[in-house]
Structure 1
Amino acid sequence: MKVVIPARYGSTRLPGKPLADIAGKPMIQHVWERAVEAVDDRNDIIIAVDDDRLVKTAAAFGARVVLTKNDHESGTDRIAEVAAKMNWADDEVVVNLQGDEPLMPPQLVKQVGTALAENPEAAIATASCIILKPEDVSNPNIVKVVTDRAGYALYFSRSPIPYDRSGVIDLSRFSYQRHIGLYAYRVATLKQLISLRPASLERIEQLEQLRALAAGMTILVEAVSSAPPHGVDTEADLEAVRAYFRKQS
């Protein structure tokens, strides 16, 4: 299993985000350290970046780093470029660990990668957890997923799915599932994904995983007991993560 950490310097909402200081280290180093805890060999981890400043920073703390094109539209595209440069075999499992997830549990990274490796019929593996608050079901920033009996995704949406015709979100009637944005792919799947045009469903929902479903790919969803801490999208998120580390020290 390989872990690739895509990190983009030019974040729209938080420029230079991967280099943001958290407890005396750049955020990207915290993410890399979570990955180190998830794999047997740190050489199986690559940070994929778009800027020389990130190359220098990652190299300074001992990570393997690859400079990729700066015009990729998604982390998936960046990871596919790394896989091609590394000449990884089509059946190699690659976990996409976003560079703004400094609190991602290492066990979850390992669990998602192992799930794909152990289920050859799956094209992609990801994770979900039960939603505990009715307001989260209606929150478009929290992506929902429904699965079949075998745990394969039927659909992902920003809307409440399934829709309760009573008009009331009743968590006692149905266990709504929150999607956790951590993915494992085989290299062959990455190649296929980047060859596809964005699907209509993907454009409407702004959810990249719908490209895979629309193309008929199977996505195995690992159910976990709780959601990992929130990643860093905004300045407020960054301050929350800093506060978390201060409490741990």
Structure 2
Amino acid sequence: MNAVILIPARYQSSRYPGKPLVGLKGSTGVVKPLIHRSVEAARRVAGVSGVFVVTDDERIADACLPARVGVIMTSSECRNGTERCAEAQSQLHEADLVINFQGDALLTPKHFVEALIERMQRVDVDVATPAIRLRSSEVRALQAEEAAGRVGGTSVVTDSEGRALYFSKRLIPHLPAGSLDGEMSPVRLHVGVYAYRPSALTAYAQTPPSELERLEGLEQLRFLDRGMPVAVVDVEPPPFALRELNNPEDVAPIEEALASAGLE
């Protein structure tokens, strides 16, 4: 299977403009832009034939030159990373599988992506994405975030075959009394990495955003609204805290995680 990783990256972020160019210090003190670190993380994945940054901004394209990574330019009209991947795939050579590796998710472990590639060897789904089971203590922390009016992550529920029933920025499913008494909770945290067959990306681009997608702010809900199954692959969490670069205050904990993981 010819799998290609695409890293969507945009300069204009409402919460953190220019974040792909933000410098992040690694375990040895070397500072590299976020986009470089995302490329390095993608290159650690086994079983892929290429890695490309997908952007509409020349500043990001120029910043990619030292990383010696291919860049695919797309329209500024793309509303999310999946639309950007859909537009970019026409420039790929006979890809069987397209991986959407989020440009701000530099801490994504390689085994997350490798598990998706393995799952997509089966032909029963056209889209796959990973999730991790949360400890009860982690759910309580998310509940506190939710009570304070902050979004702490995206949760997912599935059917008995592991296909997504729904994704939400609220904690799902409902947790009755006693649900968090054990060490592990019933809650699964969705990790924003996706594997698509090219036909799924084409169908996505031809489908307008759904009401649920707009309300939740979750691009993957468009697949469910269209009736396309999304396989959710359970993966083991890494020994360090997963965190995306969404706000300036995320820099310090991400640098701590880079040091903990020994990433230069």
2:103 to 87, 99, 105: 99
Measured after TM superposition, the shift of residue 59 of structure 1 is 2.2
SS at match of 2:160: coil
Gaps spanning 5+ residues in structure 2: where? 26-30
Any conservation in 2 of the 1:123–1:186 contact (CA below 8 Å)? yes
* Distance (Å, rounded) in 1 between the aligned partners of 2:249 and 2:100: 24
CA-to-aligned-CA distance 1:159-182 (integer Å, 9 cap, x gap):
332224x46653549621111111
* Distance (Å, rounded) in 2 between the aligned partners of 1:224 and 1:86: 28
Against the structure 1 CA distance between its residues 192 and 61, is the aligned structure 2 distance closer, same or farther, given a 3 Å change threshold? same
Q: Give 1:135's aligned residue.
A: 140
Is 1:30 aligned to residue 31 of structure 2?
no
Q: Give 2:197's aligned residue.
A: 186
Is 1:245 aligned to residue 258 of structure 2?
yes
SS at match of 2:186: coil
2:84 to 70, 74, 78: 78
Q: Give 1:125's aligned residue.
A: 128
Against the structure 1 CA distance between its residues 137 and 147, is the aligned structure 2 distance closer, same or farther, given a 3 Å change threshold? farther
Moved more, 31-40 or 187-196: 31-40
Moved more, 166-175 or 207-216: 166-175
* Distance (Å, rounded) in 2 between the aligned partners of 1:246 and 1:137: 25
* Distance (Å, rounded) in 1 between the aligned partners of 2:185 and 2:237: 17
* Distance (Å, rounded) in 2 between the aligned partners of 1:144 and 1:193: 22
* Distance (Å, rounded) in 2 between the aligned partners of 1:21 and 1:153: 36
Any conservation in 2 of the 1:137–1:144 contact (CA below 8 Å)? no
Q: Give 2:22's aligned residue.
A: 20
Measured after TM superposition, the shift of residue 221 of structure 1 is 0.7
1:114 to 101, 106, 118: 118
Against the structure 1 CA distance between its residues 137 and 168, is the aligned structure 2 distance closer, same or farther, given a 3 Å change threshold? farther
SS at match of 2:191: strand
CA-to-aligned-CA distance 1:149-202 (integer Å, 9 cap, x gap):
2211111122332224x4665354962111111111111100101111111221
Measured after TM superposition, the shift of residue 9 of structure 1 is 1.2
Measured after TM superposition, the shift of residue 127 of structure 1 is 0.9
Q: Give 2:247's aligned residue.
A: 234
* Distance (Å, rounded) in 2 between the aligned partners of 1:154 and 1:171: 25
* Distance (Å, rounded) in 1 between the aligned partners of 2:43 and 2:223: 28
Query: Residue type matched to 1:185 in 2?
Result: Y
Any conservation in 1 of the 2:133–2:185 contact (CA below 8 Å)? no
TM-score with structure 2 length normalisation?
Answer: 0.84
Query: Residue type matched to 1:157 in 2?
Result: S
Q: Give 1:170's aligned residue.
A: 180
Q: Give 2:212's aligned residue.
A: 201
* Distance (Å, rounded) in 1 between the aligned partners of 2:63 and 2:12: 15
Is 1:65 aligned to residue 74 of structure 2?
no
SS at match of 2:16: coil
TM-score with structure 1 length normalisation?
Answer: 0.89
Moved more, 234-243 or 118-127: 234-243
* Count of residue pairs the alignment pairs up: 244
Gaps spanning 5+ residues in structure 1: where? none
